[in-house]
Each structure stands twice: as C-alpha cells, then as structure tokens.
Structure 1
Amino acid sequence: MGDTLIPTVDLSPFMRDDEDGKKKAMEVITQACSEYGFFQIVNHGISLDLIKEAMQCSKTFFDYPDEEKNKSSPSSDAPLPAGYNRHSPHSLDKNEYLLVFPPESNFNVFPQKPPNFRNVVEEMFVQMRKMSVLVESIINDCLGLPANFLKEFNDDRKWDFIIALRYFPGSNNNEQNGLTQHEDGNCITFVIQDEVEGLQVQKNGEWIPVVPTEGAIVVNISDVIQVLSNKKFKSATHRVVRKEGKSRYSYAFFHNLSGDKWVEPLPQFTTYIGEPPKYKGFPYKEYQELRMRNKTHPPSRPEDVIHITHYEIDT
C-alpha cells in the first residue's frame, strides 16, 4: 500500500479574497482531481465544536440496542431510505447508518434519543450545504467553466443528504470490508472522520490511507463531475477497511443532483476543443435507479454491477 498523503487545501483564501492563495489552492485541487479525485479541506467554515458534538451524537445513537435504533426505521415514501438502516448479514459491507434529507424535508425520521441529535444534525446540514456550494464553485473555476455554471446547472439543493455511519469492528478472519471499492454517483461527497483509520483512496493502482486529521473534511469528486468534464476530473475510487476491535464513525454529505437533470459531457470539453464525448447522455434518475438496484438486488457476478462505465462510449 502506498504511503503518500492526499493533499490538504486551506479554504481561508476564498473567505477573504486572497487571490494568490486562491490560485495556489486551485492548482493543488486541479492536480488532485485530474489524477484521482481526492483531497482534504481545512478552514472550511464548519466549527470544530459542532463536528465534535455531531460525532458524539452519532456514537451515542449507534451504541443503543437495535430495538431503540429500529424506532427510526426508514420512511417508505422517501426517494432514498431516510432514517436508520443497516446492511444485511449477507452484504459484503459491514456498517449501519442513518440518512437525513435537508431540514425542510418531510421524509426524515429522527431518533428521539439522544435528544439533541436532530438539532445538531440539522445544523451540520445547513453548514455543510453552504460549504459544498463554495467547493462546487471552486471546482467550477478549476475546470475553467463560466462563472456560476455548475451552480446554475445544479441549483436544487433539496436532493442533498447526509449520512451518519458506523462501521463495525473488524475481526481476524480476513473479513475486514467496511465498504467495498466504489465510486460515488452524485456530484461531490464530503466526509468527516473520527480518529479511527480505514478510509482509503486508489491512485495509480495503490491504496492510499486517508489519515484522520482533526477538523479536516475529505472531498471526493463523484461520477456526475467526471461525466460533465468528459473525464478531465476523475471520480474517486475509494473503500473503507475495518479496524480490528474498533468501530469507526463518520459523516458523509452528498452534494447531489436533481433526478430530472440530463447528464452528458459538456461542449466545453468536447465540441469546443474537438474532443469526442466519452459518455452518452442519460437522465440522472435512471442512473440512480440502476445504482439502487445494485444494492437491493445485487447481481450474482461482480462484473454485472452497474457503474458509470455503463454509459461509456467505445472508442
């Protein structure tokens, strides 16, 4: 396994209009996204106290007996299973999670215990949504797109969601998988880790550990950005490996896209520069349904799992 650290980017220049600092940060982000789609951010505007409180709420909730956690079972009407869920005993992934839509959503199923869970997670949602819009605008500029292009393309924030996760302790029987190797299907994902290692990103065929750093938030580029940029920016391949004897807690915020959006390589990366598109266009809802089917009805052969390669154009 490689021991190279993923880059850490200070976002404070974007808060104070430091043009030189912005330029340097964008150079780091552009290189990371062009090569493998992963970096960390600090000075992102989310308070360390809020992060600590949210992590403690998550640990308290997941330590409750199943009987208590199951009181927050998913809403059947939600587009995704909002509320508490866990992978089946037959799944390769070994984790449990609680999914939350925006505070204004009617789909959420919040735990009654701990009593401050809802307020803390909703505040996390508000702050992470604001941060995600900032990072999206930076990605926009790193790609050389017109100002606010991605913001106007992806202007419906009610599809965003946040997940509190607990990965079960690993064992000594070589079943250490917490989350299988994959790429995310949305636009950009943000991850807050506790102190337990396990998150890894693939670069040049090597698995690089994403070492937890207090206050840092991990950013990974996802499939939508890869398609829009015609693979100029890469969707990050990553996994979680469970630690023996230790649970791992994290939050993942998904900066998402409205299901009725049409996704295809932008002309800025095809027609305008004389490059052929690497993907055929598709409705985002269709891709999400295919990915959900991977989970609800896993194919018998791993090679039949749907990835963004499903839409690739043979050249």
Structure 2
Amino acid sequence: MANLDIPTVDFSPFFTGSDEDGKKNAVGIIKEACSNYGFFQIFNHGIPRDLINRALKFSGTFFALPDEEKLKYIPGLGAPIPAGYNKQPEHSADKNEYLLMFPPQSTFNVLPSNPPEFREVLEELFTYFARTGELIERILNDCLGLPPNFLKEFNNDRSWDFMVALRYFPATGTENNGLSEHEDGNCVTFVIQDEVGGLEVRKDGEWIPVIPAEGSVFVNIGDVIQVLTNNKFKSATHRVVRSTERSRHSFAFFYNLQGDKWVEPLPQFSEEIGEAPKYRGFLYKDYQALRMRNKTHPPSKPEDVIHITHYAIST
C-alpha cells in the first residue's frame, strides 16, 4: 500500500479509452500534486509487473558480480553522459554504483551480456518507460491548459532520454546517504525501487518516505518543467537513505530534453498573464554541464553547488 502522504494516481482510465470521469479525476490529482508537491505515485500504468520484477532481479545479479566482470562494461566515448557501468568514487558523498543506458537503438550503449536476458529486459523496460513518459507529457500538457501537443512538439527529441539501474550499498557508521538531497535537472523522472526502499521526498521541510508498493512507479517533476511553468509546477527535492542491512536496487528513467534546446519561462505563464519571468533563459546542455561539474568537481561548500536557482532572477 502506498504511503498516504504521497499523492497516488490510478492510470487505468488512460488505457480503457472510455472512462472520461476516471481520466478527469487522475488529471486533477496530478495537477494538484505537481503544483503543491512536485511528485506522485502511479499504479496500473501499463508497465508489466513481471517485467519490473525481472529487471530488479537481473540488476541485483549483475551488481553482485565481481568488479572485474562489471568493468567490462565501462562507458564508451562520445555520449552526453557516460553510458555503461560506473561506480561512485570513494570520496563521493553518494554511495552507489550504476549502469546507464540511452534508447535501445543508441550507439552509445555499453550493455552487459551477463546475466543472460538482462540486456533484453533493459531494452524492454526502457521502451515501456518512454511510452509512459509520452503519456505523462500529454497529461501535463492538459494540466497546464496548453494547446494540444504543445509539450510534445517542444520536446520532440527522445534521443537524450536515459535509464539507470542503481545499487546503493548498505550504510556504514554515520554515513547513510545513498544519494544526497537534490532536484532532477530534466523534465520528468520515473523511479521503481525494491522492497528495501529508501527514497524520500521533501514537503514543507519534512522528509516523506516513499514506501515500496508492488507495481507502483514514483514520478517526480524536474527543473525544466519548473522553469517552463515559471514555478507553477514544482521540481521535487528528494534523496535516498541507505539501509544498514541490505543493498538497495532501483531503476530511474529520465524523460529528458535535447541539449541545444533553449529553456525559459513560457509566455503563457509569464508575460501573457502579467507575471515577470522568474528565470533567465539558458541552453539545456549548459545547465547539464554545470550539474555534471557538481559531481566531477564537488564544491567545498554546499552553498556553491549549482541548482536551478543559478538562473533565477532576483526580485
């Protein structure tokens, strides 16, 4: 059962085609969740439960392999971000290892052949996540009252989407961060996690645990949507707290934006309604480069970490 503090949405009306009241109810929940929380949880989303379970199982098998086997799948060259197997350096505040992939047809992918069927499952899961992203994008378009297909046409390059299989190591001593608190820099993120849990989201200064629920997918809004809507929709602050007993396995899918895209508040949420833009415009790839530098060259002071506030206009 999902945590009652997390807005929960039944997506089945979007697959039946005839339940207009169900669709309207779901859109209403999502609109309120994005305005006040920046996150929600979905059920009956069309991603087969068996596929989710197999993906988590194979991921656990892969990350349990010896390092010399996993290192066969280190990133190739040329990708916008390193696709393949990666492990956070020992000095990193985040204690995890991960396998990153772009769309199945991408030449950047370095995917494992061990365990057998893992690559096939990864590609299938990616395809389902991408379809879910397109559906969420249409729903957000309706929530915002934008012209039909506006967001789809604005964000029409799916080659920058990526998915990550993650393993968070058990906590040791006082260090329990699996992933430090942050907001995602993309459009929308989808997360599935195993029964270990650990994902938490912040609302009104309080951390809310996202309790693992069979068949659920957690959804959070990212910085791009926050900027486009001029803060009408929130980019969710979240983190992962590691278990002291077991590794945590999860998948995150990042519904992304093409790097050369110019991002700024849409006129529908600024000058057309008499509101000043809250952000100056920027190239998406420039913002991603700044975020990547946060990881490769961590600032000595937390306040120097780059967030979307880097582009905020002072009032």
- TM-score of the superposed pair, with normalisation by structure 1: 0.97
**What is the distance in 1 between the residues matched to 2:28 and 2:201?**
20
**What is the distance in 1 between the residues matched to 2:210 and 2:94?**
19
1:73–1:108: structure 2 CA closer, same or farther, 3 Å change rule? same
- Residues 4, 208 of structure 1: 8 Å contact kept: no
SS of corresponding position for 1:99: strand
Name the residue aligned to 1:50: 51
Name the residue aligned to 1:194: 194
Q: Deviations over 1:214-240 (max 9, x none)?
A: 100000000000000000000000000
- Report the alpha carbon displacement of residue 193 of structure 1 after superposing the two structures with TM: 0.8
Name the residue aligned to 1:220: 220
Which stretches of structure 1, 4 residues or longer, exceed 2 Å deviation after superposition?
none
SS of corresponding position for 1:28: helix
Specify the code of the residue in structure 2 equivalent to 1:184: D
Structure 2 unpaired stretches of 5+: none
SS of corresponding position for 1:109: coil
SS of corresponding position for 2:170: coil
- Report the alpha carbon displacement of residue 7 of structure 1 after superposing the two structures with TM: 1.3
**What is the distance in 1 between the residues matched to 2:5 and 2:62?**
32
**What is the distance in 2 between the residues matched to 1:98 and 1:263?**
28
Q: Deviations over 1:69-106 (max 9, x none)?
A: 11100112211110000110000000000000001100
Alignment root-mean-square deviation, CA: 0.9
- Report the alpha carbon displacement of residue 245 of structure 1 after superposing the two structures with TM: 1.1
- Report the alpha carbon displacement of residue 4 of structure 1 after superposing the two structures with TM: 5.0
Name the residue aligned to 1:38: 39
**What is the distance in 2 between the residues matched to 1:247 and 1:41?**
25
Q: Deviations over 1:32-58 (max 9, x none)?
A: 111120101111111011111111110
Instruction: Answer yes or no: is 1:250 the counterpart of 2:244.
Output: no
Deviates more, 1:88-97 or 1:138-147: 138-147
Specify the code of the residue in structure 2 equivalent to 1:293: R
**What is the distance in 1 between the residues matched to 2:145 and 2:197?**
35
Q: When the two structures are aligned, how many residues end up with a matched partner?
A: 312
Specify the code of the residue in structure 2 equivalent to 1:276: A
Deviates more, 1:110-119 or 1:244-253: 110-119
Name the residue aligned to 1:135: 136
**What is the distance in 2 between the residues matched to 1:98 and 1:169?**
18
**What is the distance in 2 between the residues matched to 1:216 and 1:303?**
34
**What is the distance in 1 between the residues matched to 2:284 and 2:237?**
20
Name the residue aligned to 2:271: 271
Aligned sequence identity (%): 67
**What is the distance in 2 between the residues matched to 1:144 and 1:222?**
19
SS of corresponding position for 2:111: coil
**What is the distance in 1 between the residues matched to 2:66 and 2:144?**
47
Name the residue aligned to 1:106: 107
**What is the distance in 2 between the residues matched to 1:16 and 1:114?**
36
- TM-score of the superposed pair, with normalisation by structure 2: 0.97
SS of corresponding position for 1:146: coil
Structure 1 unpaired stretches of 5+: none
Specify the code of the residue in structure 2 equivalent to 1:36: Y
- Residues 74, 84 of structure 1: 8 Å contact kept: yes
SS of corresponding position for 1:105: coil
Name the residue aligned to 1:84: 85
- Report the alpha carbon displacement of residue 16 of structure 1 after superposing the two structures with TM: 2.2
**What is the distance in 1 between the residues matched to 2:148 and 2:15?**
17
**What is the distance in 2 between the residues matched to 1:159 and 1:115?**
27
Name the residue aligned to 1:63: 64
Specify the code of the residue in structure 1 equivalent to 2:63: F
**What is the distance in 2 between the residues matched to 1:247 and 1:219?**
22
